[in-house]
Amino acid sequence: MSNVIQKFVIDTAVKNRILEKISLFSTKKILLIGDVGVDEYVMGAVKRISPEAPVPVLEVDAEDKRLGLAANVAQNIISLGGQVKLVSVIGQDDGATVLKNLLQKSKVSAEYLVTDSSRPTTRKTRVMTGHHHLVRVDYEIKKNLKPETEAKILKQVEDLMPSVDAVVLEDYAKGIFSVNLIENIVNRARKAGKYLMVDPHQTKFADFYKGVDLIKPNYNEALALTQIKEEDIENISERVWKVGRALQKMTGASDVVLTQGKDGMAIFSKDAEPVQVPTFAKKVFDVTGAGDTVIAALALGVISGLKLAEACVLANYAAGIVVGKVGCVPCDVNELIQEIRVI
């Protein structure tokens, strides 16, 4: 095999196959496990400096609350036409109430969420004027779950595993995933014959996710996961190839999808030549949540029978839609179908 990544050819046949498989999304169920939270926005105008301290005074004219982290992945699965079982941990606080209300509006069940009164529900409050962030305030605890809380998570996973088509792990490093929990999920998914995907966090080492079927980091995350220094790979054209293959070897994953922003995605599968899929974004206003849309579309595509490269084409179409909007906004399946037909 060469170290050159070939471009994946996207022709009418590929598009028609993708459109055909989208019609199957409504029959597919995904078990989604990961950190959840609420994205809050406080918006207004700055017209003066505070007399109390040299800081701007925001005159608030609007507030907004949206689903964040794995909850955004869940609403993307729903908006794309699929079904989702969301397992996570929330606090016993106002944030949990807000989160549950937002989930209900997005038609995502909160039935499988585990409550831990010793932890706050993760909230990220962004104070903004126009598109400029003045400050962000985070309410969260990143320490590992208590053993009894982790046991409840695993019980939910065990109960739900038989009824789903695939399992997705969303790691935002808020404490939900331990080595023990990952190992238990890997073993149960393998035993049940379920395809296991992970959206990793760069603060972990690659072998933390050992045993998954697919791992989807961006390029910089892949460098951190593998602890490869980019400058140590002298041939620039081989950097993505070597990082992708190293990640594949270290995790044992049969598939690696390495996202590269404007350069699209590099796709590595065992016993196959890597291929590159382009991006389809026409305009980019906000990349927040684009990765969440990608993993949702990718999972639905794979379990609906698309080849991995085709599922990545689908995911890039979906991501191209959401980056043209502000904030964490899910991709609507009808808009996705229209976009594929037009481009």
Nearest to 65 by CA among 150, 4, 126: 126
Computed on alpha carbons and rounded to an integer, the radius of gyration of the chain in Å comes to: 20
Q: Active site includes 292? A: yes
CB 266 within 8 A of CB 5: yes
The answer to whether the CB of 30 falls within 8 A of the CB of 82 is yes
Among 159, 255, 292, 332, the active-site one is: 292
Give catalytic residues, as residue numbers. 292
